[in-house]
Amino acid sequence: MTRRPLQAAATLSALLMLAACTGSPKAGQPNTTPPPTTPTITPSPTPSTPTWTPEQQAAITAAKSRYTTARAAVDKAFEDPAHLNRTALEKVGNGGEWIITVIDDARFQTQNGWYQTGQVKISGTQVVSVKLGIEQPEVQLTNCIDSSAVVTRFTKTKKPVPMGPGNGDRHKFSSRLVYAQPNSGGPKMWFLVAEKGGGPC
């Protein structure tokens, strides 16, 4: 009966010595395992903003203004596509391939007995390039067009034309504007001559 406490004491002493040898912090030894390190995140380089000359900036400002005016005139023309006036559209800066597309769209709407209400909203514009040292100076833009306020309607009933789910109301458009003389003569001005749709924006 007297041997069991002695055996327990010996076992406890052996465990304490083993803990001291294994470097346990509880035995008064420092923990040499290094703490986990947090990886350093290097920020991505910010793309540099182009620096435009005063001449380029003037061309950009004029081209953006012309784009807004030309687009608004097209919206107005689609309110009565059967009576679209090409000359009036050209006077405010619609030309080239773009005005041909507008005329084709107006004919399509007229043939189907449709018209449009509402106007598109230009919710963002980025300058892609500016070329001034060429025969017809040009500015390339990327515009985000929001058509959520535009509704195609039946001419007879004024009710909306069922269009299905579609693919959203906001889309990118690559727009090309050139500085040229109007066909009717007069001073040179900026014309929206091409526009190509892209993905959502």
Domain ranges of the chain: 54-200
Per residue in 118-127, pLDDT (tens digit) is: 999 999 999 9
Taking all residues of the chain, what is their mean pLDDT, rounded to a whole number? 82
pLDDT band at 164; cut points 50, 70, 90: confident
Print burial letters for 6-33: b (CB count within 10 Å at least 16), e (below 16): eeeeeeeeeeeeeeeeeeeeeeeeeeee
Query: Cα(6)–Cα(21) distance, rounded to whole angstroms?
Result: 23
pTM of the model: 0.73
The mean-pLDDT minimum among 3-7, 67-71, 106-110, 116-120 falls in 3-7
Query: Cα(72)–Cα(77) distance, rounded to whole angstroms?
Result: 9
Longest dimension (CA), the chain: 124
The contacts of residue 69 (CB under 8 Å, 6+ apart) are 92, 93
Quote the distance between the C-alpha of residue 103 and its chain's center. 27
Domain 54-200 classification at class level:
alpha beta
Tell me what percent of the chain is helix, strand and coil, each rounded to the nearest 5. Answer: 35, 25, 35
The mean pLDDT value for 129-157 works out to 96
The mean pLDDT value for 177-194 works out to 93
Percent of the chain predicted with pLDDT > 70: 75
pLDDT for residue 127: 97
